[in-house]
Chain A
């Protein structure tokens, strides 16, 4: 009985350690908000989530400019290579956006306060509100 209690105590202690590590790892993998990215003072690869204020396409430079807003209203300009985006997602003018749910991955340049986008990730939350169909 005493031995079992000792073993259970060790198991519970390790459980708490695992839970702590797991919780920290999961919490840390959450996407950054725009306001958090703007506070960075060094170049870094980031994944940022924000509200889509608008987009602008520069056909000559082949760049897509994306304006994201954070929870505190701060704004971040992100620039994406249009060709990369079109190869992956199709013509820019036909991209479907869920403005509440835009996630961008890229390199943040604190000197120019610009995010150079390497990928556009979008959440699928809105999809489950869609009608079911077999088309």
Chain B
């Protein structure tokens, strides 16, 4: 079997595994029990947004190294790697900006705050968008890779800047690595998070390799790849659909305060324009974390609501996580389209 096909089949497995791990994360993974703003469950985005952000830096580093190699050796293959790394990394960065904004709205109060890390990643993304414009604008096929590689090396300056942004600025809403350490050291968090990082890394590296050699891909491997992307996207959209469906069958609201004991709890929620106390018949001891009922900020569904009393309560995954997961599915399908599109002999694109 040719190497390109082996890579394609490996990517098939990784795409499906990534969809399954991502689905498990949004359904079962832990998140901080108490937060200052918004839903604690919004921090499920750690397993979706953060791995893609981390690996975008790795891929841009790949482009940087390939660009140096191209300028040193002037081999056409290195130029292909520069383009492939930059293309995949920029898709990753686009997803990071979108998913980060959606998460920020829930947990920081607005979609965009010109936070130093947000600013750094935006500049990074724009800098590398210029790479494509610059490359396309050069008509001379001999100058094109030289100018592009030179620019790719220069644009890489934005990578360490955006990574170190919370430290460069005297303040930032983004936490530093030291502050994240406490949460990341918890065993279940580590297991899921680092598995997701590994899968996202593999997707990126295999996608780059495949992009460079995609003309050698056999029709069978191409079909397998198409099918795996379709299956992955369908799995993720189904999970998103399932999580969205949980919003029906009761009154959906947000918890602003909790009073009383787990067996006799009252929740302060919003009904229409008014804040009101609701008594919950169900014992809430399953929501107790370190002696406190960990429900404040959560989006919940009140079941059997009548006269300020509900029989049951269900904690819902907030819409920001569902949306980010849907966008992740779109991102994977966009990556798949990029890998699978090719030019026919008359120059038209087909899948």
**Contact surface of A with B, Cβ cutoff 8 Å:** 4, 7-8, 10-12, 14-19, 21-23, 25-27, 29-31, 33, 47, 49, 86, 88-91, 94, 96-98, 101, 103, 105, 119-135
* Count of residues in B whose CB is under 8 Å from the partner chain: 77
- The answer to whether B171 and A31 have CB atoms under 8 Å apart is yes
Q: A-B contact count, CB below 8 Å?
A: 195
- In Å, the complex CA distance between A120 and B142 comes to 54
Contact of B182 among A86, A122, A128 (CB under 8 A): A128
Are the CB atoms of A4 and B72 closer together than 8 Å? yes
A126 / chain B contacts, CB cutoff of 8 Å: 36
Contact B295 A135 (CB under 8 A): yes
Provide the B104-130 mask, 1 if CB < 8 A to any CB of A, else 0: 000111100111101110011001000
> Residue B275 at the A interface, CB < 8 A?
yes
Q: How far is the CA of A114 from the CA of B253 in the complex (A)?
A: 35
Q: State in angstroms the CA–CA spacing of A46 and B183 once bound together.
A: 32
A124-B36 in contact given A30-B170, A130-B183 (Cβ < 8 Å): yes
- With a CB–CB cut-off of 8 A, which chain A residues contact B43? 124, 127
Q: Are A134's CB and B31's CB within 8 A?
A: yes
**Distance between A65 CB and nearest chain B CB, rounded to angstroms:** 19
Bound complex: CA A19 to CA B74 (Å): 26
What chain A residues lie within 8 Å of B13 (beta carbons)? none
Contact A127 B35 (CB under 8 A): yes
B168–A26 CB distance below 8 A: yes
5 A-B pairs besides A16-B157, A47-B113, A96-B34 with CB distance below 8 A are A21-B123, A30-B116, A47-B114, A97-B36, A130-B34
Given contacts A11-B150, A14-B151, A26-B165, contact A132 B296 (CB under 8 A): no
Q: Is the CB of A91 within 8 A of B294?
A: no
- A-B complex: 6 closest residue pairs judged by Cβ atoms: A14-B154, A30-B169, A90-B256, A22-B161, A18-B157, A132-B30
Within 8 A of A (CB), among B151-210: 151, 153-158, 160-162, 165, 168-173, 175, 179-184, 186, 188-189
In contact, A134 and B28 (Cβ under 8 angstroms): yes
Check A22–B158 contact: CB distance below 8 A.
Answer: yes
Return A52 CB to nearest CB of chain B, in Å. Answer: 11
Distance A33 CA – B171 CA, assembled complex (angstroms)? 9
Pairwise interchain contact B268-A94, C-beta atoms closer than 8 A: yes
Known: A121-B109, A134-B30. A25 touches B36 (CB 8 A): no
Given contacts A15-B154, A15-B157, A22-B161, contact A123 B183 (CB under 8 A): no
User: Of B107, B118, B153, B289, which is within 8 A of A133 by CB?
Assistant: B289
CB neighbours (8 Å) of A98 from chain B are 36
Which of A89, A123, A129 is the most central at the interface, judged by chain B CB atoms within 10 Å of its CB? A123
- Whether A19 contacts B32 by the Cβ 8 Å rule is no
Report the bound CA distance from A123 to B67 in whole Å.
Answer: 38
Is B315 part of the contact surface with A, judged by Cβ < 8 Å? yes
Contacts A29-B116, A121-B113, A123-B173 given: A23-B168 contact, CB under 8 Å? Answer: yes
Which of B30, B33, B107, B161: most chain A Cβ within 10 A? B161
**Contact status A133-B31, CB under 8 Å:** yes
Q: Select one of A14, A23, A119 contacting B161, CB under 8 A.
A: A23
Can you sample 27 A-B contacts with CB below 8 Å? A4-B71, A8-B71, A8-B153, A14-B150, A15-B153, A29-B118, A29-B169, A30-B116, A31-B171, A86-B275, A96-B34, A97-B36, A98-B36, A103-B171, A103-B173, A120-B109, A122-B173, A123-B171, A124-B43, A128-B181, A128-B182, A128-B184, A129-B179, A131-B32, A132-B31, A133-B289, A135-B298
List of A residues within 8 angstroms of B179 by Cβ: 125, 128-129
Q: How far is the CA of A19 from the CA of B123 in the complex (A)?
A: 11
**Separation in Å of the B119 CB from the closest CB of chain A?**
4
Q: In the bound complex, what is the Cα–Cα distance between A91 and B256 (angstroms)?
A: 7
CB-CB under 8 A from B71, the residues of chain A are 4, 7-8, 11
A residues in contact with B118, CB < 8 Å: 29
